[in-house]
Amino acid sequence: MSKTVNQLVKDVENFCSTRDWKNDDPNQLISSILIELGELAEHYQWTSKFKDYSGEDKKRLVMK
């Protein structure tokens, strides 16, 4: 699935809004997004296969 730049911008805006991030400095946003990605990666760190998370599991991971 390919997205336009405008769609990607909207995704980042939604990501920030959900977390109540008010700072729009690109360097800080990139750092914050990478930190969030690292926290998500911890759930897969020592597995050889991606776990098939249920809808509720996914919601819990996103809200941490």
Quick: pLDDT tens for 14-37. 888 888 888 778 898 889 889 989
The position carrying tokens 């336009």 is 4
Show the tokens assigned to 23. 């700072």
Torsion of CA 38, 43, 48, 52, to 10 degrees: -120
- Give me the domain span that covers residue 27: 5-63
Sign of the alpha-carbon dihedral angle for 9, 7, 10, 36: negative
Helix axes 26-41, 5-18, angle to 10 degrees: 70
User: Which position has the higher pLDDT, 47 or 16?
Assistant: 16
With a CB cutoff of 8 Å and minimum separation 6, the contacts of 44 are 50, 51
The structural domain count of the chain equals 1
59 pLDDT more than 80: no
